[in-house]
Structure 1
Amino acid sequence: MITHSFPVLGQDIPVYVPQTADDFRLFRQYVTDKANAGERVAFDTESTGLATFSPGYRIRVAQFGTPEQAWALQTEKGPEMRELASWALRTLPAMVAQNRNFDLLSSDRHLPGVTLEELAPKTLDTYIFSHLSDPRRKDQGGVGNGLKDASAHYVDPSAPDTAAGLYEEFHKIGHTRDTGWAYIDIDNPKYLSYAGGDVILTSRLLPKLQARVRELGINPSLPDFEHAVGYVCALIERRGMRINREYTTQLSAELLEESAKWAEEAKKYGVANVNSTKQLSEALLGMGEHIPERTDGGAVQVNGKVLKRLADVDKDWDPIESRTPNPLAMAVLRSKRASKWRTSYTEAMLRTADENDRVHPKIGALAARTARMSISDPPFQQLPSGKWEVRHCVVADPGHRMISVDYSSVEPRVMAALSGDEKMTAAILRGDDLHNLTAASVYGPDFTPGQRKVAKVVQLGVAYGGGAATIAAQTGLTLQAAQAAVKGYKRTYPKLARYIRALQGQVIRDGYTLRTPSGRRLVFDRDAAYASFNGEIQSTARDIFAQGLLEIHARGLTPHVLLPVHDEIVADATDNQAHEVAREIGEAMTMSLRGIPLGTDPDVGGSSWGSLYMRKASTMIENDSWYAANPDAARAAEEARK
């Protein structure tokens, strides 16, 4: 037996690394004793990286531990070790893991004889309890939800950082913090010690977090709710999404060319490097642009938000029509977008796809401060809603059609339900367009399409705590015009405005905390009480979506689901079942909040995810200069749309 140790609270806790048949018998006895006692055992894995489903991925070490000892099985050394780890996972009746979905999905795919369905019901996730007690990251003023941060707060502030502590070892062998996991010597003492430390800390952390959740009076049903949501997300992640490799490869090359083309366009205005903020700010100011935004260091701010305002497009790249678009800002935006899409999407899909050309985006079921979900590798959640090019890479299974089901204007409906504003509620129940109602109130019944877009920005801006200055920056309005628009909005929905003020005051009185309708605890910065209504809306909308996901699962529809993204479920089904499945998913998601109906918009497309967006993009195809410069893409889009 090789024995290492991990320090916790001044004690060296043993980390056993079995090598011989006698060692394996001792490990089996340890597991059997814990199983007979019903004691919860921590589980973790060390692997070659994060791309669980990509070719070449493997689990190198599987660790099991309790507060007083840990065992590290070097599964990379042979099938006997992997069989032993699988036996332990099947035998133990209760486990705990940090970010359990990662380790359970890895085990499901790479260890013999164990399944996600078997492991998830008996495994608690310390991350869930940590997030429920304080959803903020450490850099946001919170405890932090990572194992190191949470353990430093609740267990031992002096315990080693088991991830960062290995980076020096990686550097010694010529690798980085990202690549070293696959190449560090499997017998490296620090590697094995820290592997054991992860489960020792996790096992000690769980009871501390459970007690903290009870102490704070968190809704006692939320831990079970979040574990159930996480399990459904893991099932979806395991299935993955099929990609058209040929199209994805071609699009990747086209995006590289597009980025270079727009970079050349930017050079016409004196910007040799689109990533140089100095060159860009000087060129824009030289063109007569007024840019009041500044960085923390006092430099002119030329981030994406500023550039989109100057290019006269909103966050989804739709024209605002409030000013003449600045051609340099648009060129830089397009060059950077093409480069980002290539790196974050097409190349990521080609790199991480499994042997069946399926990508498995990681679904963070409980991610942001507000609990909103996240999607990464690739980050599909960051794609603008109206763009189809990247989504066209994702295709349904053979003989299947793509399905999209999303909530109809869920956030305005949540706003009405929370505030009880009678005018907004009546408009929703009548089926009125809230942005039209706001535009008519501000600009009169003959408002223009551009004024409607401004009204939309105003509605979201006011609800999310933005003032007239923020709205002016986003829309290109003068400050005076933005102030008038805000007044008009508050005049249209007076009870909503009063509710927002009252909520902000209550949050301040409650120590900058807020309890959402589901009983979730949100924590705000001392200077950010203005964001409390935004937090309540986002968190409530997320919980509605998560409840819809559980209802989809209860109805046996999860095998159809490909991805939950924003307020949308992406799915597929056979051609003759697609419309029925879309309807059933829509019904599962439909519910009400305080008398406000939360309906859905089921849609059935063709063989690609992008087909669901191509119909919506017809005006863009006709008018967008990108298509003018890319006639082949325009023709392909038009043919697919038809």
Structure 2
Amino acid sequence: MPETTEDLNEFWRWLYEARERGPIALDTETTGLNVFNPSFRLRTVQFGDQRDAWVIQYERGGYFESYAREAVQRTQRVLIHNAAYDWLVLDRCAGIPLEDLAPWTTDTRTLAALCDPRQPSEGGIGTALKPLSARWVDPAAPDTQSGLTAVFRSLGLTKETGWAGIPLDHPTYLLYAGLDVILTARLFPALRRELARLGVRNELVAYEHELARICAVMQRRGLLVDQDYAGPLARRLAAEAERYRAVAARYGVIKVGSGDQVAAALVGMGETLTERTDAGALKTDKAVLLPLADLDRDWQRIGAREPNRLADAVLRAKRAAKWGETYAAGFMNKLDDAGRIHPVITPLAARTGRMSVTDGLHQLPSSDHIVRRAILAEPGHVKISTDFQAIEMRVLAALADVRRMKEGFTRGGDAFDIHMYTAKLIRGEGATKRDRKLFKGAGFGKVYGGGITTLARQTGASEAEISQAVTAYDRVFPEIKRAGKRWQRQAFQNGMVFVSATGRRLPLDRDRTYAVTNYACQSAARDVLGQAMIEMEGAGLLEYMRLPIHDEILASAPREDAADVAREFERCMTMSLYGVPIVAEAEIGGRSWGSLYGADY
């Protein structure tokens, strides 16, 4: 830890020698995790290889700040664990554009996810540095996190305030900072060897780094919040939650979050609950309550039964509370100086590679406009949403080579409705909207692995009807079932790992091998979106892009150019997958994201 200019000169000599030997690991310590918080500061910048680590106290300013900045810019190849975070830190606090640093970066977290994408709860190692180091570097690799937490407590600090409050020269803090770059430097060659052993292609590694950079650019830009709308919305939702809690209380449910109270009341009202938690309690989660309230996953009426008022009240009380606290109030609490929030976009969030967005923005019901209304396009801009059409079914048709499904997609044109097409194949030309809904459920059951009970609950049909629909689906599209069995065999022969169309390794759980169809389709759909995002950048659209949401790209574009920009998004999201046309449709809204969902602004 350099303390003088002479020490800094020694660091400089080490840097030039180390970069000739190979990549240099880079890391930062900061005052917290919210890079765009107005009080956020960069405290130290660390450089290291497999033998040495240098902790530069950036917070001291002067020579320390300038040496650290210059060293980052002169490092030719960089290793970072969770690169997007440090890119954004150095971009905001040190004036080093992430576009300059990203091309020279290898993210060891990305490498780890491509070796095994599972989290510890799923039987994997996860992507955290210390567990990975224990697996690939040394089982006894020191973990100073617990020691640092103890230091925070001794100083009267918490886990949240400790990072900003601990003295800059505290030895445990410096040891924690320095070890991370040494571990990253040692982890890199081990992961590279493992990727080579597993046969993971270098092209997939490069592709994931490109997507990480694109997502980091979107995170840096952030989303403009309508504060005049979000503040009152938080208060209105709090009142709404209280109103529905009062309804639940009339049925004996004092706490809507108490599963035992809700279950007892529903049983007392004559409802039959059969599903249980691992602990043996009756389940009363959203999946159970929605059909009792006669609601589908998008909170639209199913029309299968008389809604249970208690189930409806519990659902709405919990949703209003969540929307008020997580979204409306959450947006207001996370604003930067420019009135923006900066959701973290994680390109490799799920086992299948599906992306996620923090602040709950990828979990909003597709019918919601209330929360989305709080997110604005730039002044003079409008919101554009470009969404793939029936991407899950198109990917399924392509991967499983489903003849009749491929014929429909190829000949049906942009307005082709795969679910009505399926209903007519099975029921004839007299197929109804209800038939369409039934066979849509059967199709999604194939893609997502939903069982008969789950599909019946979601569609409002009886289990007998769903069972017959699935049987009919298999008769019309026999290739799907055959492909699923073939993919399971391939996984068995490959150590319970299915390799996706793009070479992604997807470990299967032994008690859920049927999920291979879901994994294959989700992974391919994600990579179709990823390729489209790279095409968008090449077409000059990155400046308009704001968020990837499932199979949708949200954008903000000047009102006068919106039609041209929308057509370009559609072009980038149009391609062919094994002969199946992948198409997208752009919708131009008003100033708010909610305008695309029915809001009037």
Question: How does the TM-score come out when normalised to structure 1?
Answer: 0.90
Moved over 6 A (4+): none
Task: Select the residue among 72, 93, 108 that pairs with 1:126.
Answer: 108
Counterparts of 1:553 and 1:287, CA distance in 2? 56
CA contact (8 A) 2:446 2:518 kept: no
- State the secondary structure of the residue aligned to 1:235: helix
Q: CA deviation at 1:423?
A: 1.4
Q: Which residue of 2 aligns with 1:11?
A: none
Counterparts of 1:28 and 1:18, CA distance in 2? 11
Task: Select the residue among 383, 388, 402 that pairs with 1:421.
Answer: 402
CA contact (8 A) 2:438 2:466 kept: no
Deviations 1:579-611 (A, max 9, x none): 101111111121110111111101111111111
Assess, with a 3 A threshold, how the Cα gap between structure 1 residues 162 and 367 changes in structure 2: closer, same or farther. Answer: farther
Q: Which amino acid aligns with 1:51?
A: N
Q: CA deviation at 1:501?
A: 2.4
Q: Once superposed, what is the RMSD of the aligned Cα atoms?
A: 1.7
Task: Select the residue among 21, 45, 51 that pairs with 1:68.
Answer: 51
The correspondence of residues 595-606 of structure 1 with structure 2, limited to 5 A, is: 595-606=579-590
Task: Select the residue among 358, 368, 388 that pairs with 2:350.
Answer: 368
The correspondence of residues 410-559 of structure 1 with structure 2, limited to 5 A, is: 410-431=391-412, 432-440=416-424, 446=430, 448-559=432-543
How many residues matched? 598
Q: Which amino acid aligns with 2:188?
A: L
Q: Which residue of 2 aligns with 1:257?
A: 239
Q: CA deviation at 1:165?
A: 4.2
The correspondence of residues 397-412 of structure 1 with structure 2, limited to 5 A, is: 397-412=378-393
The correspondence of residues 329-368 of structure 1 with structure 2, limited to 5 A, is: 329-368=311-350
Task: Select the residue among 82, 92, 102 that pairs with 2:65.
Answer: 82
1:383 partnered with 2:367: no
Deviations 1:511-537 (A, max 9, x none): 211111111111111111100010000
Q: CA deviation at 1:444?
A: 6.1
Counterparts of 1:473 and 1:613, CA distance in 2? 25
Q: Which residue of 2 aligns with 1:28?
A: 12
Q: CA deviation at 1:308?
A: 1.3
Q: CA deviation at 1:251?
A: 1.1
Deviations 1:543-585 (A, max 9, x none): 0100000000111110111111111111111111111011111
Assess, with a 3 A threshold, how the Cα gap between structure 1 residues 179 and 312 changes in structure 2: closer, same or farther. Answer: farther
Q: CA deviation at 1:117?
A: 1.2
Q: CA deviation at 1:388?
A: 1.1
Q: Which residue of 1 aligns with 2:293?
A: 311
Q: Which residue of 2 aligns with 1:107?
A: 90
Q: CA deviation at 1:39?
A: 2.4
Q: Which residue of 2 aligns with 1:7?
A: none
Deviations 1:300-324 (A, max 9, x none): 0111111112122222222222222
CA contact (8 A) 1:441 1:489 kept: no
1:225 partnered with 2:196: no
Assess, with a 3 A threshold, how the Cα gap between structure 1 residues 438 and 175 changes in structure 2: closer, same or farther. Answer: farther
CA contact (8 A) 1:364 1:373 kept: yes
1:194 partnered with 2:147: no
Assess, with a 3 A threshold, how the Cα gap between structure 1 residues 318 and 448 changes in structure 2: closer, same or farther. Answer: farther
Q: Which residue of 1 aligns with 2:129?
A: 147
Q: CA deviation at 1:491?
A: 2.1
Q: Which residue of 2 aligns with 1:169?
A: 151
Q: Which residue of 1 aligns with 2:187?
A: 205
- State the secondary structure of the residue aligned to 1:572: strand
1:93 partnered with 2:76: yes
| 564-573 or 478-487, which deviates more | 478-487
| 251-260 or 94-103, which deviates more | 251-260
**Runs of 5+ in structure 2 lacking a partner?**
none
Assess, with a 3 A threshold, how the Cα gap between structure 1 residues 609 and 304 changes in structure 2: closer, same or farther. Answer: same
Assess, with a 3 A threshold, how the Cα gap between structure 1 residues 311 and 174 changes in structure 2: closer, same or farther. Answer: farther
Q: CA deviation at 1:441?
A: 5.5
Q: CA deviation at 1:73?
A: 1.6
- State the secondary structure of the residue aligned to 1:527: helix
CA contact (8 A) 1:242 1:359 kept: yes
Counterparts of 1:206 and 1:123, CA distance in 2? 12
| 573-582 or 507-516, which deviates more | 507-516
CA contact (8 A) 2:144 2:172 kept: no
What percent identity do the matched residue pairs reach? 42
Q: Which amino acid aligns with 1:108?
A: D
Counterparts of 1:493 and 1:379, CA distance in 2? 36
Question: How does the TM-score come out when normalised to structure 2?
Answer: 0.96
Q: Which amino acid aligns with 2:503?
A: G
